[in-house]
Chain A
Amino acid sequence: MSTIKKLIILFFMLFLSLKSFATDIYPFNNPNDTNRFKSLTTELRCLVCQNQNLSESNAPLASDLRQQIYLQIKQGQSDQAIIAYLKARFGNFILYRPPLSLSTIVLWLGPFILLITMISFLIYYIRNTIKD
């Protein structure tokens, strides 16, 4: 590998590592709160760019919501209270893990029903071929 190539790789490594400083904008007094902030922002979806969570997204709304979560953690709000606060405003859509309800029951149970059906068909099929 040529020196130039190495230098280019080094440049990108240094450049991309800047991302790891991003969380320092939200300083907490104890590591527990830092972890809560991290897990909340990765569990919640950004509504503007829907395939990103709140901690990854660069959308202005995501940054506003991060700020809200930060302030509420600082105020001593529980995780449930913060999630309820966001759910009342943006709906279940903000959750990556939707709650079990009538409209999501197919989503939660569907794969298991499909699995059981497939296994029973397989057993049925194998039994029949053995008989034959």
Chain B
Amino acid sequence: MKILKILPLGIFFIIIFFLFKGLNLHPDIIPSPLINKPAPLFALPTLDNPKKIVTNHDFLHHITLLNVWASWCTTCADEHEFLIKLAKNTDIILYGFNYKDDLTNAKKWLAEYGNPYQIIVVDQQGLSAIDWGVYGTPETFLIDQQGIVRYKVIGSLTQEKWDRELWPLIKKIQKERT
């Protein structure tokens, strides 16, 4: 009978434990099933030249960051400052993935805020983005030299996320090679 008396208290603490854990959950961040799998096949035109087609082959032999953005996306504007800084201070190859955007607006946006991207591919219909599992902009993929997706940042890429998540992984991938 003793056990019955402490049981409610025990259940109470179990519930408190799960509620407390729930405070730190981020249901808006959905883990990507693409991690450690080859980047989805794609062939998309670039923003500068609609005749130039970029494919998965352009991801080989170097570590690439692929940043999904659009001029209509307000969080992308917040993130942009950091991307500019990143392009200036590191030699990481940063590609842009322009998602369901108006091309005139996209170009205007880049002229205004600066262009950190080496190449920008354009997906106006958002069909290739489905293959990448894009569900909200901005999103950033880290792709290794073999063209394998290694990480995905959902939401704004910040200095904090860079220092804590991406940079250690990039260093690790660079070591794998040597």
Within 8 A of B (CB), among A51-82: 60-61, 64-65, 68
Say whether A119 faces chain B, with CB atoms less than 8 Å apart: no
Whether the pair B132, A89 counts as a contact (CB closer than 8 A) is yes
Say whether B22 faces chain A, with CB atoms less than 8 Å apart: no
* Cα-based distance from A92 to B125 in the complex (angstroms): 24
Say whether B27 faces chain A, with CB atoms less than 8 Å apart: yes
Say whether A26 faces chain B, with CB atoms less than 8 Å apart: no
A residues within 8 A CB of B131? 89
Say whether A83 faces chain B, with CB atoms less than 8 Å apart: no
Q: Assuming A60-B126, A89-B133, is B7 touching A121 (CB within 8 A)?
A: yes
Say whether B136 faces chain A, with CB atoms less than 8 Å apart: yes
Say whether B55 faces chain A, with CB atoms less than 8 Å apart: no
How many residues on A have C-beta within 8 angstroms of the other chain's C-beta atoms?
Answer: 18
Q: Assuming A65-B130, A89-B132, A90-B33, is B100 touching A60 (CB within 8 A)?
A: yes
Within 8 A of B (CB), among A84-101: 87-93
Contact with B along A8-45 (1 / 0, CB 8 A): 00000000000000000000000000000000000000
Whether the pair B33, A50 counts as a contact (CB closer than 8 A) is no
Whether the pair B126, A90 counts as a contact (CB closer than 8 A) is no
B residues within 8 A CB of A61? 126, 134-136
Whether the pair A64, B133 counts as a contact (CB closer than 8 A) is no
Q: A89-B133, A91-B33 are in contact. List 17 more A-B contacts (CB 8 A).
A: A47-B30, A47-B135, A47-B136, A48-B135, A60-B100, A60-B126, A61-B136, A64-B127, A65-B130, A89-B33, A89-B40, A90-B30, A90-B133, A93-B30, A93-B31, A121-B4, A125-B4
- Sorted nearest first, the 10 A-B pairs with minimum C-beta distance are A47-B135, A91-B33, A89-B133, A93-B30, A90-B133, A64-B126, A61-B135, A48-B135, A89-B130, A91-B30
| Interface residues in chain B, defined as those with a beta carbon under 8 Å from any beta carbon in chain A | 1, 4, 7, 27-28, 30-34, 40, 100, 125-127, 130-136
